[in-house]
Amino acid sequence: MASLQLSSHFLGTNTKKHSSMSISRTYSPVPCTRLFSRKFMSCSMSMNGCEGDFKTPLGTVETRTMAAVLSPTSATESLISAVSELKCQPPPFSSGVVRLEVPINQQIGAIDWLQAQNETHPRCFFSRRSDVGRPDLLLDLASEKDNNNGGSSDRDLVSVAGIGSAVFFRDLDPFSHDDWRSIRRFLSSTSPLIRAYGGMRFDPNGKISVEWKPFGAFYFAVPQVEFNEFEGSSMLAATLAWDDELSWTLDNAVESLQETMLQVSSIVMKLRKESLGVSVLSKNHVPTKGAYYPAVEKALEMINQKSSSLNKVVLARNSRVITDTDIDPIAWLAQLQSEGHDAYQFCLQPPGAPAFIGNTPERLFQRNQLGVCSEALAATRPRGASTARDKEIELDLLTSLKDDLEFSIVRENIKEKLNSICDKVVVKPQKTVRKLARVQHLYSQLAGRLRREDDEFDILAALHPTPAVCGLPAEEARLLIKEIESFDRGMYAGPIGFFGGQESEFAVGIRSALVEKGLGALIYAGTGIVAGSNPTSEWNELDLKISQFTKSIEYKSTSLQRIN
């Protein structure tokens, strides 16, 4: 269990001092005539689930599915009616979660729906990447029992957008096993689409800078109103959560949801993913180029010391861009999505916070019942201007000793960590090249079989942070990062994703930006420093990695197209 101890600094181990009914059914509605956390202001009209007793099961966790409709407008009307009916015929429980969902018989982009909503609400967005062409190691590991349990029922879910929070989870202390149990209390395998979306800081014990304070050490939320985009269809859903012990009753939850539903826009405009209509006035890097070169040299000096166990450290940079007008984070994310089919897109925006958005190619882990998979992704090259040139660059990447070292450190470390929590680990392939729109990386998939589903917290404890975003050994790398870097990474390079009753999935929050009203954006990138690294090459790699963000804010033109 050495790898678990290695990562213990990054997740909490504190303990707090202080058989639910689970239903999934089809439902036809009939028309019918103040809490705050000890350490945080509450989300607007919601409750902090971390303050509840995770040892006490909820009274009910259920999903009610209405008849399918043809448009978002009809779906909104159906949900409003269903909420009214729930108010008239409340479930007889002092705590619970109820998801009301209406299928829509057309595929509508979740990001387009989110763009249409009031930006004053807390927002979240999570889009799965396309894994077409890569083997599904989870299916290879799955037993017949797993497959019969419906573990793949939502595999055609493309992306999720949410506003508001039925319940949120946030604290200043590092994410602990108790916090995980608090989230799991609101989830059920029979309601797999009730999920808590959010993320955690790269280093939860580091000092939190002002721009990251609203996120806490971690932040998760079950959206109050949610739009699901599937392959060929969509779904609008509303979720209520209540717990009388937290002074947040079903009446409170219904009243809050009704208020939010009245603000939901059903007029969805398709974003034309061109440019943002803003121009960059200034761009400043922290560290500057003059400070970055000595930092790399210092890292190399430590790596090359015979007395040092440090093999790799990842040094990051943030780039502050100031624009002539505010950047719309959802429109920016839509642009990233247009070239990021092989990447996760995400947006996380707690109440009163900047929007943290990203287009990350890297999966931290995916769990489906007992199966868990991760991957190694390291070493970077640009794409070639022609097919022949692209192949030359690929061959150079595959045969580079320096890049093989960097990649092998990542792959073997993840394999070791999975072995600590799984009965069986598969690595396939050992090394290949993964090509993205602008860059290509060395890549490998790894998968294993958990001994128990309750070991999910241990996946996070084992895998975060990977050597791809921190270094190896992790603690030595973290201390050097803390000494060298002069800014707060926040959730950059932290786990970003969701917990679900049946499935959980987290990406690594790289290739990301924090978008602030009136302050432009902070764009984050990092590079792995190993023996043989060159400061100039590493600086150029940072520029290459942020180019997907900067390319779309140099020109002025944008347009919308209404979805009928």
DSSP per residue over 503-522, as a string? EEEEEE--SEEEEETTTEEE
295: its two tokens: 């930092």
Bridge partner residues of 3 (DSSP): none
Q: Which of 51, 62, 273, 312 is catalytic?
A: 312
What does residue 410 show for φ and ψ, rounded to 5 degrees?
-70, -50
Q: Amino acid identity of 386?
A: S
- Among residues 461, 474, 509, 514, which one has the least CA distance to residue 362? 509
Alpha carbon distance 466, 10 (integer Å): 11
Alpha carbon distance 12, 439 (integer Å): 35
289 catalytic? Reply is: no
Alpha carbon distance 160, 261 (integer Å): 17
Q: What single-letter DSSP state applies at residue 135? A: -
- Among residues 99, 103, 129, 124, which one has the least CA distance to residue 25? 99
312 catalytic? Reply is: yes
Alpha carbon distance 331, 524 (integer Å): 18
Alpha carbon distance 508, 525 (integer Å): 12
- The number of residues in the chain equals 564
Q: Around Cβ 17, how many Cβ atoms within 10 Å? A: 5
- For residues 43 and 350, the answer to whether their CB atoms sit within 8 Å is yes
- For residues 356 and 511, the answer to whether their CB atoms sit within 8 Å is no
Alpha carbon distance 278, 168 (integer Å): 33
Q: Which of 362, 375, 456, 485 is catalytic?
A: 362
- Among residues 189, 116, 62, 142, which one has the least CA distance to residue 504? 189
CA distances from 247 to 48, 186, 490, 556 (A): 11, 16, 31, 49
Per DSSP, which regions of 207-362 are E strands?
218-222, 225-230, 233-243, 269-272, 280-286, 312-323, 344-349, 355-360
4: its two tokens: 């678990």
- Among residues 339, 335, 364, which one has the least CA distance to residue 513? 335
Residues labelled catalytic: 312, 362
